[in-house]
């Protein structure tokens, strides 16, 4: 019979009875002689070669495992090799199997994960995940960023927001509200991972302020704020697991796209939004069913920024979070109101909106960063061109790489004073003639040819042609028509 071991004695008994009886009777006689099953009569299998861990496992390995329950098998193997150099490397797998079997019987109790049943509309979860390993570049520069990720536990609705700074309340507030307004409602409970990164290096007063602001944000949307235990990732499992799936999906989409480069941050965010939309489309029936159970949204969004007051100094700007921002010099001495977002600053004077500036970050090592617009300072530089030579934010002043390379070539090819005058003249030309991109392209061509720019020639090249200037003809109306207007009767009989 297939799969059974029949002994030679049983075969001989069967063949003896088979000569005089039917097969059925012969089998019955065999069972009367030996009623055991073939598997019960098989000889137990014995070890075919010596145990390589004999005298070692119980005497050496078990005491190590009992003293340090978390010790890895590979560490035990390396320790044995140190104690007994003659041990062969091939016993590593044998040791790992033996350790695993020992732990199954004598090892410590492990943590049990209890799967939960989720109700529609009850729980939404938020977390941040680092995206540096995707090696995305924006405008030729590596983008050091994170992804704010929101997910509904029941329906599977997801939303992702690219965060160019660290984990902070501002990033959470903006990303969460974007998610809720895209979803069309709010869950009854919102869970985070305690915003541990946002609280790092903050005093108790600052931590309390962040906690109160987070609770106020949840209250505005009717959500109960909850947090999972710090360091226990599986309590946030409904989104921790989704992190891995989303990052792998983004990685695959980048491979299919054929490039990890994006022209600007807006293009990269559109790429992420499209990917998230496709993933949400797979769960559309459950998402639609859950939307009916969500709480209504408030009439307007809550505050998702920090508001800070700054004063413009004589340097033509202000410093905020170790970053210097330039503004038009007419604002020197004024106090400005700044709304600090994750990726931008909205600047107000009084109640009037002035401008929006890209948000900068302090450099590594705590050094100050600079966000400088040459349009803000070019008029002052024209009066003091030598200030460019040792300007603190000189490299950040140049709007494109071609301008920086041109200044380096001017310095290498002559004295500092004419180099500074020429470079300031080029920046002024780009400012006055609105030819920044075209001028940069021409400067690149000159550098490739090994030539230096001549300011007068460039002014003529990028200046307006007299033939293209519009001819403006002003025709004055005769004054008599005003008398005619005065003599006309008023409309509707009203004097």
Phi and psi of 93, rounded to 5°?
-65, -40
Handedness of CA 296, 246, 266, 404 (dihedral sign): positive
SS3 414: coil
Q: pLDDT tens-digit profile of 373-429?
A: 999 999 999 999 999 999 999 999 999 999 999 999 999 988 899 999 999 999 999
- Helices 265-282 and 237-257, packing angle to 10 deg: 120
What is the reported pLDDT for 54?
82
Nearest one of 413, 383, 386 to 405, comparing CA atoms: 413
Q: Which residue has the tokens 């695993």?
A: 100
Tell me the pLDDT of the chain (495 aa) as tens digits: 444 555 666 666 666 656 666 666 666 656 666 666 666 666 666 666 777 888 888 888 899 888 888 888 889 889 888 888 888 888 889 899 989 999 888 888 877 666 667 789 999 998 888 888 899 999 888 898 999 999 999 999 999 999 987 788 888 899 999 999 999 999 999 988 755 544 454 566 666 667 788 888 999 999 998 876 544 444 454 556 666 788 889 999 999 999 999 998 999 999 999 999 999 999 999 999 999 999 999 999 988 888 999 999 999 999 999 999 999 999 999 999 999 998 899 999 988 999 999 998 888 777 889 999 999 999 999 999 999 999 999 999 999 999 999 999 999 988 899 999 999 999 999 999 989 999 999 999 999 999 999 999 998 888 776 666 677 888 888 877 777 777 766 555 544
CATH code for residues 123-292: 3.30.420.10
Beta strand 141-142 pairing with 306-311: unpaired
Phi and psi of 307, rounded to 5°?
-105, 125
CA-to-CA distance for 280 and 274, rounded, in angstroms?
A: 10
List, in sequence order, every residue forming a beta bridge with 125; answer none if it has no partner: 151, 191
Nearest one of 92, 98, 38, 103 to 70, comparing CA atoms: 103
Maximum Cα interatomic distance, the chain, rounded to a whole number of Å: 147
pTM above 0.75, yes or no: no
**Where in the sequence of the chain do the CATH 3.30.420.10 domains occur?**
123-292
Reduced to 3 DSSP states, what percent helix, strand and coil does the chain have, rounded to the nearest 5? 50, 15, 35
What is the reported pLDDT for 382?
93
Q: Is 59 exposed, middle or buried (0-12, 13-18, 19+ CB in 10 A)?
A: exposed
What is the reported pLDDT for 127?
87
Phi and psi of 239, rounded to 5°?
-115, -30
Q: pLDDT tens-digit profile of 35-73?
A: 666 666 666 666 667 778 888 888 888 998 888 888 888
DSSP 8-class letter at 368: P
What is the reported pLDDT for 31?
62
DSSP 8-class letter at 186: B
CA-to-CA distance for 260 and 254, rounded, in angstroms?
A: 6
What is the reported pLDDT for 114?
63
């Amino acid at each position: 019979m297939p799969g059974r071991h029949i002994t030679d004695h049983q075969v001989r008994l069967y063949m003896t009875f088979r000569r005089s009886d039917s097969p059925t009777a012969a089998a019955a006689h065999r069972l009367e002689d030996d009623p055991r099953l073939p598997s019960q009569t098989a000889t137990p299998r014995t070890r075919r070669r010596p145990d390589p861990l004999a005298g070692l496992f119980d005497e050496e390995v078990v005491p190590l495992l009992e003293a340090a329950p978390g010790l890895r098998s590979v560490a035990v193997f390396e320790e044995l090799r140190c104690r007994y150099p003659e041990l062969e490397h091939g016993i590593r797998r044998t040791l790992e199997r033996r350790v695993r079997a020992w732990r199954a019987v004598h090892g410590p109790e492990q943590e049990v994960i209890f799967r939960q049943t989720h109700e529609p509309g009850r729980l939404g979860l938020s977390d941040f995940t680092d995206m540096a390993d995707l090696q995305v570049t924006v405008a030729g520069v590596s983008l050091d960023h994170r992804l704010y990720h929101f997910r509904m536990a029941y329906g599977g609705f997801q939303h992702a927001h690219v965060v160019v700074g660290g984990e902070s309340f501002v990033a959470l507030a903006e990303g969460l509200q974007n998610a809720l307004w895209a979803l069309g409602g709010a869950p009854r409970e919102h869970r985070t991972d305690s915003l541990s990164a946002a609280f790092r290096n903050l005093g108790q007063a600052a931590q309390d302020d962040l906690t109160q602001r987070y609770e106020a944000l949840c209250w505005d949307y009717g959500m109960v704020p909850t947090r999972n235990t710090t360091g226990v990732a599986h309590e946030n499992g409904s989104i921790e697991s989704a992190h891995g799936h989303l990052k792998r999906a983004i990685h695959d989409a980048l491979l299919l796209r054929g490039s990890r480069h994006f022209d600007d941050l807006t293009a990269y965010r559109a790429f992420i939004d499209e990917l998230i939309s496709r993933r949400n489309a797979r769960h559309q029936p459950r998402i639609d069913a859950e939307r009916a159970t969500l709480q209504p949204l408030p009439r307007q969004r809550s505050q998702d920024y920090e508001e800070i007051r700054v004063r413009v100094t004589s340097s033509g700007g202000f410093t905020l979070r170790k970053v210097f921002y330039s503004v038009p010099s007419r604002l020197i001495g004024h106090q400005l109101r700044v709304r600090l977002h994750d990726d931008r600053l909205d600047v107000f004077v009084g109640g009037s909106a002035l401008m929006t500036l890209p948000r900068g970050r302090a450099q590594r090592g705590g050094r100050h960063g600079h966000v400088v617009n040459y349009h803000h300072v070019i008029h002052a530089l024209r009066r003091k061109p030598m200030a460019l030579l040792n300007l603190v934010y000189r490299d950040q002043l140049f709007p494109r790489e071609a301008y920086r390379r041109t200044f380096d070539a001017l310095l290498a090819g002559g004295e500092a004073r004419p180099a500074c005058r020429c470079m300031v003249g080029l920046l002024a030309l780009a400012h006055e003639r609105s030819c920044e991109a075209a001028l940069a392209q021409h400067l690149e061509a000159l550098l490739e040819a090994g030539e230096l720019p001549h300011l007068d020639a460039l002014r003529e090249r990028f200046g307006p042609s007299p033939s293209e200037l519009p001819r403006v003809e002003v025709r004055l109306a005769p004054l008599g028509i005003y008398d005619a207007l005065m003599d006309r009767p008023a409309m509707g009989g009203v004097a």
